[in-house]
C-alpha cells in the first residue's frame, strides 16, 4: 500500500527509515503497538512485511471495544432491552456479541437502539424524546472520555434528566503496568498511543521507561509516523537509553490537553474495571462522580451485576495481551471472519483479528 500509493517524497523518506531500521536491527527487537489504530495502519500499509525479521511487531490491548468484558456487554444488552429506553451507541458496538445476542439482534426484536456519531447526537435524541430514557454507551479510552464528560455537564446544566451514560471507559496506564509486569510477555519497547497521549501527555506512562526499562515512543498513525517511531525506539536501544519520547509532535504534547483532562476529572473518578482476558485491573476504569449520579445509568437503572463467561473458543484475551498472533486462534479465518465474527477482535474496526484478516498477507509470527 505504502509503496503503491506514496508520493516520491514519502517513498524516499520510507526508504531512509527502512534503511536505518535495517542497520540498527542487529539483534531481535519486539515492539508492541498499544493502539488499535496503529494495528490497522500497520496491517493496511503492510509494514510488517517491510521490516527485517529481527524487528517483530505485536498488537496490544488498544481496541476499546475488544477489551470490554463479556459481563459489561451483557449488562448493556440487559439495559437496552428495557421498555422505554433508547440506547445510543457508536457503530462499532452494534455487532459485538454478548452471551446470547448482540445489539443488532436486540434491535431486530424491537428494542430502540440508535447509532450516533457523537454525544451531541445522543443529547439531541434525549431533547426530542422527553418521555423516553436515552442512554449513551460510554465505551472508549481517554480519547472518548472528555466528550462524554462534557455531555454529562451539558445534561446537568440543561436539566436533561432523561439522558444518562453507562460508563465502561477505561484508561491505558494501568493496563500498560499489567503488561510490563507480565513475566510471559516478551516485549522490548512500545509504540505508545498517539491520541490517548494527546489527552494525558507522557507523564502517566513514564513509569514504563523508568521502572521497567521499556522505552516508548508516542507515535502518529501514518505509515511514515510508525516507521519513524520504530527508528526512534531502535536508536534508544543503540544508545542504551530507556525514555518515553514523542514522534507525534503535531498532535501530542508532553503535558497533554489540560482542558480535556479537567473535564474528565470533573465528571469521572477512577474505579476498578474488568478487561477482557485480563481480569479486574485496579483503578483502570472511569466511574461517574456522585455529583452526576442522576445521569449515571448504572445507578439510575440499578443494573444487576453479570458474571458472563468468555466466548467459548475465542482467544481474544490472549490476542489483547500480545501473547498470540490472531492467526494462532484456531477459529481465525475459519469459523470467525469479519462477516461472521465470533469475538470482538474480529468485529471492531480496530480489532487485531479484523485488521490481520482484512489486510495482512504475512503467514504469521
Ligand atoms: Fe476471537 Fe475470532 Fe479473534 Fe479467534 S479470530 S480470537 S475467535 S475474534
* pLDDT tens-place string over residues 280-315: 999 999 999 999 999 999 999 999 989 988 888 999
Minimum-distance ligand 1 atom for the alpha carbon of 343: 8
Which residues, at least 6 apart from 205, have a Cβ–Cβ distance to it below 8 Å? 172, 173, 176, 192, 197, 216, 244
**Does residue 108 sit in the same domain as residue 124?**
yes
In a domain, 47, yes or no: yes
For residues 12 and 153, membership in a common domain is answered with: no
Whose Cα sits closest to atom 5 in ligand 1?
332
Q: Distance between alpha carbon 362 and the CA centroid of its chain, in Å?
A: 24
**Ligand 1 centre from 21 Cα, in Å?**
31
- Residue 64 CA to residue 315 CA, distance in Å, equals 16
8 Å CB contact between 185 and 321: yes
Please report which helix (H) or strand (E) contains residue 261, including its range. helix 258-267
Do 273 and 165 share a structural domain?
yes
Residue 233 within a domain: yes
Residue 15 belongs to a domain with what CATH number?
A: 3.40.50.11750
Asked whether residue 176 is assigned to any structural domain, the reply reads no
Interval 93-112: pLDDT, tens = 999 999 999 999 999 999 99
Any atom of ligand 1 within 6 Å of the Cβ of 319: yes
3-state SS, residue 5: helix
Residue 5: what pLDDT?
58
Domain that holds residue 126: 65-171+256-300
> For position 350, what pLDDT does the model report?
87
- Indicate if ligand 1 lies below 6 Å from the C-beta of 332: yes
13 located within any domain: yes
Within-domain flag for 309? no
Number of domains in the chain: 3
Asked if residue 268 and residue 235 are part of one domain, the reply reads: no
Is 236 inside any structural domain? yes
CA of 61 to the centre of ligand 1 (A): 14
Distance of CA 60 from the midpoint of ligand 1 (Å): 14
Whether residue 329 has its Cβ less than 6 Å from ligand 1: yes
Same domain for 11 and 152, yes or no, is no
pLDDT tens, residue by residue, 116-147: 999 999 999 999 999 999 999 999 999 999 99
Question: Is residue 206, in this structure, part of any structural domain at all?
Answer: yes
Q: Does 70 lie in the same domain as 12?
A: no
* Atom from ligand 1 closest to the CA of residue 341: 2
Atom of ligand 1 nearest to the CA of 353: 3
* CATH code of the domain in which 148 resides: 3.40.50.11740
List the residue whose alpha carbon is closest to atom 8 of ligand 1. 343
Residue 281 three-state SS: strand
Per residue in 178-195, pLDDT (tens digit) is 999 999 889 999 999 999
Kindly report, residue by residue over 5-30, the tens digit of the pLDDT: 568 888 999 999 999 999 999 999 99
Q: How far apart are the first and last CA of the chain?
A: 21
Amino acid at each position: 500500500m505504502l509503496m503503491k500509493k506514496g508520493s516520491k517524497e514519502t517513498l524516499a523518506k520510507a526508504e531512509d527509515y527502512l534503511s536505518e531500521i535495517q542497520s540498527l536491527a542487529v539483534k531481535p527487537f519486539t515492539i508492541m503497538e498499544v493502539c488499535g489504530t496503529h494495528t490497522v495502519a500497520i496491517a493496511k500499509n503492510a509494514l510488517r512485511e517491510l521490516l527485517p525479521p529481527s524487528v517483530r511487531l505485536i498488537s496490544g490491548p488498544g481496541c476499546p471495544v475488544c477489551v470490554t468484558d463479556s459481563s459489561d456487554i451483557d449488562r448493556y444488552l440487559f439495559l437496552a432491552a428495557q421498555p422505554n429506553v433508547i440506547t445510543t451507541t457508536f457503530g462499532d458496538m452494534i455487532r459485538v456479541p454478548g452471551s446470547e445476542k448482540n445489539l443488532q439482534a436486540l434491535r431486530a426484536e424491537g428494542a430502540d437502539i440508535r447509532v450516533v456519531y457523537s454525544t451531541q447526537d445522543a443529547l439531541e435524541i434525549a431533547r426530542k424524546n422527553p418521555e423516553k430514557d436515552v442512554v449513551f454507551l460510554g465505551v472508549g479510552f481517554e480519547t472518548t472520555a472528555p466528550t462524554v464528560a462534557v455531555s454529562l455537564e451539558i445534561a446537568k446544566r440543561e436539566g436533561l434528566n432523561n439522558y444518562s451514560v453507562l460508563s465502561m471507559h477505561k484508561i491505558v496506564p494501568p493496563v500498560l503496568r499489567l503488561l510490563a509486569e507480565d513475566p510471559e510477555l516478551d516485549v522490548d519497547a512500545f509504540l505508545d498511543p498517539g491520541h490517548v497521549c494527546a489527552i494525558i501527555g507522557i507523564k502517566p506512562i513514564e513509569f514504563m521507561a523508568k521502572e521497567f526499562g521499556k522505552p516508548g515512543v508516542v507515535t502518529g498513525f501514518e505509515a511514515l509516523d510508525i516507521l519513524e517511531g520504530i527508528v526512534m525506539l531502535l536508536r534508544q536501544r543503540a544508545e542504551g537509553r530507556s525514555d518515553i519520547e514523542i514522534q507525534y509532535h503535531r498532535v501530542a504534547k508532553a503535558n497533554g490537553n489540560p482542558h480535556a483532562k479537567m473535564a474528565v476529572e470533573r465528571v469521572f473518578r477512577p474505579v476498578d474495571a474488568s478487561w477482557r482476558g485480563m481480569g479486574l485491573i485496579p483503578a483502570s476504569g472511569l466511574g461517574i462522580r456522585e455529583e452526576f449520579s442522576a445521569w449515571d445509568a448504572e445507578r439510575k437503572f440499578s443494573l444487576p451485576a453479570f458474571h458472563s463467561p468468555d466466548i467459548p473458543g475465542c482467544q481474544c484475551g490472549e490476542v489483547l495481551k500480545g501473547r498470540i498472533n490472531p492467526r494462532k486462534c484456531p477459529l481465525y479465518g475459519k469459523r470467525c471472519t469479519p462477516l461472521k465474527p465470533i469475538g470482538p477482535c474480529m468485529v471492531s474496526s480496530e480489532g487485531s483479528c479484523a485488521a490481520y484478516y482484512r489486510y495482512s498477507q504475512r503467514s504469521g509470527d
